[in-house]
């Protein structure tokens, strides 16, 4: 884990310096770090050789949890709202998990897609509850009990998000190196053997699924607070695809990759959109091709698994 | 029931399409026995192992383990219940090192539901190095399994089953892929390891020298059932067996 710690600490320091030198980048970097949390969740599933094309659901669950709570005028603090977003997403994932973790590979990916699309259409259709396609605004909550002005709030949200990201990355790294994390890897490498060791692959995946949803939920919660708005698009499959895209961009070999990938993604999106408005997706696509060709460490994790008859 | 039967398979039947892979197969095994299963290719030996370890569910019949009915129970529950197995084609975590494979087996036995201490720092990891030493694989402990020859993989496969400390172990052709020179040495260590833990063993074997030397009892499979059962001496001298199984 040591190189990861050094890499992570170095990256965190570089980001802090960046926000001081270029304060206008603060919000962009906060968003990138927050999205990185969802990507970290995707990376966990990649360890088991599984991808979800529906994690937008858990991202949206965290975001809408914050929107509802803030609009209910409960005056909850940011530091309460973020874990609550993660908690609600996790509870939903535990429930759907009983169904989803029985599947593998393309079926797992598609089940997640299907569940998230149901959520997307509900967010759109239940207008009186969710504001429909327009979504909901989220008034700025207090942060650490203090009501801050916009600039101060943005600065402190950056540090808050950085802290959440750092703690999450550390805990996930511990998890992935632990017996439970190794059992998760075993799903990808040989689930037959795992079962004959007396371990349920489904249960190991269920736990991973819940953890990854909790991360996505915190991620959505932070985005809702920082941008002050939530919309059904959070649960849309394009968003979910973006998360998978970023996880491949960053590589799933270590926990820092998730955040590196999402920062690169966010920067390309911002600048490509500014300088080549109609081509930014082309640029993203080309960069992904380059990654796959020259640094395929993320993609190799997606090897299709063949069942071997013992 | 008679004195401490560890395994009792009763009239197992299973067909794949038209193929009767198990056709009224029955076998009783006593505590501490080493039973060899022999028979021509496609006789249903592996199918029998699969039926007893939960990989396949019989269409009729029952499997009793220490007096409890385990028919149709999931493999992982059977494994937790005390039956280990190795495979005809080794089932390993190929991208991991030998010791990582073993440590996962150790953690599976000692409690896998733990997400804080790294697996490689498992408090009982020395036990796995010892086990590798016993079967002569200490030197390759840090090598990725993928790089090792088939014979070694078979041993690792068996070692992972042994790491669970099962009371009954099935081994599907433990010495295939091992040169005939090494076979006896390997079987000697395996049998020693089994004796140590009082493990009952059922092994599928094609090498009659191995069978006659290590088995207490031999069951001859043909067409999904046992056609003959007895001591190695009785069975290996049977004219039918000599003609159809041994091929002399
Ligand atoms: N999953 C399966 N689907 C279809 N047919 C199967 C399956 N498993 C086994 N069979 C068939 O059942 C019969 C018994 O197979 P089994 O693998 O048990 O034989 P075996 O005695 O282990 O042979 P070998 O010595 O070659 O390992 C064979 O005809 C085989 O083709
Ligand atoms: Mg076989």
Residue B45 belongs to some domain of the structure: yes
Least reliable range by pLDDT among A117-126, A282-291, B151-160, B193-202: A282-291
pLDDT band at A199 (very low <50, low <70, confident <90, very high): very high
Quote the number of domains for chain B: 1
Interval A30-58 mean pLDDT: 96
- Cβ(B44) – ligand 1 distance below 6 Å: yes
Which residues from B are below 8 Å from A175, CB to CB? 115-116
Orientation angle between helical segments A26-47 and A2-21, nearest 10 degrees: 160
**What whole-number distance in Å separates Cα of residue B120 and Cα of residue B136?**
21
Q: For residue B58, what are its two tokens?
A: 């019989």
Least reliable range by pLDDT among A166-170, A252-256, A299-303: A299-303
B239 vs A: CB within 8 A:
no
Least reliable range by pLDDT among A4-8, A19-23, A212-216, A262-266: A4-8
Residue B125 belongs to some domain of the structure: no
Q: Which atom of ligand 1 is nearest to the CA of B39?
A: 21
The answer to whether the beta carbons of residues B38 and B230 sit under 8 Å apart is no
Which residues from B are below 8 Å from A174, CB to CB? 115-116, 118
Least reliable range by pLDDT among A47-51, A129-133, B39-43: A129-133
Give the ligand with the smallest distance to the CA of B51: 1
Interval B169-197 mean pLDDT: 85
Q: Whose CA is nearest to atom 6 of ligand 1?
A: B16
B19 vs A: CB within 8 A:
no
Residue B177 belongs to some domain of the structure: yes
Which residues from A are below 8 Å from B88, CB to CB? 310
Of B89, B103, B115, the CB nearest to A308: B89
Q: How far is B94 from chain A (nearest CA, A)?
A: 7
CA of B47 to the centre of ligand 1 (A): 6
Which residues from B are below 8 Å from A196, CB to CB? 53, 75-76, 79, 84-85, 91, 161
Residue contact A177–B120, C-beta within 8 A: yes
Query: H or E element: which one contains B80?
Result: helix B75-81
Closest residue by Cα to residue A191 from B189, B93, B77: B93
The answer to whether the beta carbons of residues A161 and A12 sit under 8 Å apart is no
Q: Whose CA is nearest to atom 29 of ligand 1?
A: B42
Residue contact A185–B93, C-beta within 8 A: yes
Q: Which atom of ligand 1 is nearest to the CA of B47?
A: 18
Q: How far is A119 from chain B (nearest CA, A)?
A: 31
Residue B182 belongs to some domain of the structure: yes
- Cβ(B47) – ligand 1 distance below 6 Å: yes
B108 vs A: CB within 8 A:
yes
pLDDT band at A306 (very low <50, low <70, confident <90, very high): very low
* Cβ neighbour number for residue B242 with a 10 Å cutoff: 14
Extract the runs of DSSP E, i.e. beta strands, from B56-161: 60-65, 68-69, 83-86
CATH number of the domain within which B27 lies = 3.40.50.300
Give the ligand with the smallest distance to the CA of B39: 1
Residue contact B115–A192, C-beta within 8 A: no
CA distance to A228, B42, B212, B235, per residue, from B228 (Å): 78, 17, 15, 7
For residues B205, B206, B210, B214, the Cα torsion angle rounded to the nearest 10 degrees is: 30
On the question of pLDDT at B46 being above 80, the answer is yes
Q: How far is B80 from chain A (nearest CA, A)?
A: 5
- For B121, residues 6+ apart whose C-beta sits below 8 A from its C-beta are none
Interval B6-12 mean pLDDT: 92
Of B80, B93, B117, the CB nearest to A190: B93
* Cβ neighbour number for residue A21 with a 10 Å cutoff: 8
Which residues from A are below 8 Å from B89, CB to CB? 308-310
For Cα atoms B94, B96, B101, give the angle at the middle one, nearest 5 degrees. Answer: 90
Per DSSP, B140 falls in state G
In chain A, domain spans: 3-249
**What whole-number distance in Å separates Cα of residue B34 and Cα of residue A218?**
56
CA of B88 to the centre of ligand 2 (A): 6
* Full 3-state SS string of chain A: CHHHHHHHHHHHHHHHHHHHHCHHHHHHHHHHHHHHHHHHHHHHHHHCCCCCCCCHHHHHHHHHHHHHHHHCCCCCCHHHHHHHHHHHHHHHHHHHHHHHCCCCHHHHHHHHHHHHHHHHHHHHHCHHHHCHHHCEECCCCCECCECCCHHHHHHHHHHHHHHHHHHHHHHHHHHHHCHHHHHHHHHHHHHHHHHHCCCCHHHHHHHHHHHHHHHHHHHHHHHHHHHCEECHHHHCHHHHHHHHHHHHHHCCCCHHHHHHHHHHHHHHHHHHHHHCHHHHHHHHHHHHHHHHHHCCCCHHHHCCCCCCCC
Least reliable range by pLDDT among A131-145, B2-16, B82-96: B2-16
CATH no. for A3-249: 1.10.3470
- Cβ(B223) – ligand 1 distance below 6 Å: no
The ipTM, to two decimals, is: 0.91
Query: Residue with structure tokens 């320091």?
Result: A13
Q: Please indicate whether residue B224 or residue A93 has the higher confidence score (pLDDT).
A: A93
Q: Which atom of ligand 1 is nearest to the CA of B221?
A: 21
On the question of pLDDT at A171 being above 80, the answer is yes
CA of B229 to the centre of ligand 2 (A): 19
pLDDT at A299: 36
Q: How far is A185 from chain B (nearest CA, A)?
A: 9
Residue contact A197–B113, C-beta within 8 A: no
Residue B73 belongs to some domain of the structure: yes
- Cβ(B45) – ligand 1 distance below 6 Å: yes
pLDDT at A148: 92
Query: Of B42, B46, B76, which to mutate for an interface test with A (greatest number of A Cβ within 10 Å)?
Result: B76
pLDDT band at A265 (very low <50, low <70, confident <90, very high): confident
Which residues from B are below 8 Å from A309, CB to CB? 89
**What whole-number distance in Å separates Cα of residue A247 and Cα of residue A257?**
8
On the question of pLDDT at A304 being above 90, the answer is no
pLDDT at A32: 96
B117 vs A: CB within 8 A:
yes
Segments forming the whole domain that contains residue B26: 5-90+165-246
On the question of pLDDT at B186 being above 60, the answer is yes
On the question of pLDDT at B247 being above 90, the answer is no
Residue contact A197–B172, C-beta within 8 A: no
Per DSSP, B48 falls in state H
Residue B141 belongs to some domain of the structure: no
* Cβ neighbour number for residue B112 with a 10 Å cutoff: 24
On the question of pLDDT at B3 being above 80, the answer is no
Residue contact B112–A183, C-beta within 8 A: yes
B184 vs A: CB within 8 A:
no
């Amino acid at each position: 884990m040591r190189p990861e710690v050094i890499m992570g600490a170095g990256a965190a320091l570089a980001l802090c310096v960046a926000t001081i030198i270029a304060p206008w980048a603060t919000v962009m970097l906060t968003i990138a770090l927050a999205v990185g949390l969802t990507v970290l969740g995707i990376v966990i599933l990649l360890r088991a050789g599984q991808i979800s094309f529906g994690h937008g659901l858990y991202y949206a669950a965290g975001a809408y949890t914050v929107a509802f709570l803030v609009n209910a005028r409960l005056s909850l603090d940011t530091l309460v709202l973020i874990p609550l977003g993660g908690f609600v997403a996790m509870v939903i994932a535990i429930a759907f998990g009983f169904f989803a973790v029985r599947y593998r590979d393309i079926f797992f990916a598609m089940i997640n897609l299907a569940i998230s699309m149901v959520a997307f259409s509900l967010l759109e259709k239940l207008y009186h509850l969710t504001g429909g396609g327009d979504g909901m605004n989220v008034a700025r909550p207090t942060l650490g009990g203090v009501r801050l002005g916009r600039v101060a709030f943005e600065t402190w949200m950056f540090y808050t998000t950085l802290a959440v990201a750092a703690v999450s990355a550390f805990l996930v790294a511990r998890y992935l190196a632990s017996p439970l994390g190794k059992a998760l890897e075993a799903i990808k490498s040989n689930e037959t053997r795992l079962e004959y060791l007396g371990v349920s692959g489904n249960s190991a995946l269920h736990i991973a699924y819940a953890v990854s949803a909790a991360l996505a939920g915190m991620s959505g919660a932070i985005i809702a607070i920082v941008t002050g708005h939530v919309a059904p698009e959070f649960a849309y499959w394009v968003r979910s695809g973006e998360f998978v895209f970023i996880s491949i961009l960053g590589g799933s070999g270590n926990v820092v990759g998730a955040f590196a990938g999402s920062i690169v993604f966010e920067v390309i999106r911002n600048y490509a959109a500014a300088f080549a408005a109609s081509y930014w997706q082309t640029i993203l696509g080309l960069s992904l091709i380059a990654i796959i060709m020259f640094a395929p460490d993320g993609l190799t994790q997606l090897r299709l698994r063949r069942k071997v008859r013992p | 029931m008679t004195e401490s039967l560890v395994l009792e398979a009763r009239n197992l039947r299973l067909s794949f399409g038209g193929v009767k892979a198990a056709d009224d197969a029955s076998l009783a095994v006593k505590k501490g026995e080493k039973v060899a299963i022999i028979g021509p290719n496609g006789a249903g030996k592996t199918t029998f192992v699969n039926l007893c370890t939960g990989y396949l569910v019989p269409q009729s019949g029952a499997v009793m383990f220490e007096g409890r009915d385990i028919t149709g129970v999931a493999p992982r529950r059977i494994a937790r219940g005390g039956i280990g197995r190795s495979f005809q084609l080794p089932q390993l975590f190929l991208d991991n090192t030998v010791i990582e494979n073993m440590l996962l087996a150790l953690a599976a036995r000692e409690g896998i539901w733990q997400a804080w201490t790294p697996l490689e720092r498992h408090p009982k990891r020395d036990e796995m190095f010892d086990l590798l030493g016993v079967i002569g694989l200490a030197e390759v402990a840090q090598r990725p399994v993928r790089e090792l020859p088939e014979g070694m993989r078979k041993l690792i496969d068996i070692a992972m089953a042994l790491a669970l400390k099962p009371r009954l172990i099935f081994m599907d052709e433990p010495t295939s892929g091992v040169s005939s020179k090494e076979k006896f040495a390997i079987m000697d260590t395996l049998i020693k390891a089994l004796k140590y833990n009082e493990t009952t063993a059922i092994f599928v074997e094609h090498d009659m020298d191995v069978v006659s030397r290590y088995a207490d009892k031999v069951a001859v499979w043909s067409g999904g059932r046992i056609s003959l059962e007895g001591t190695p001496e009785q069975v290996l001298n049977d004219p039918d067996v000599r003609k159809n199984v041994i091929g002399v």
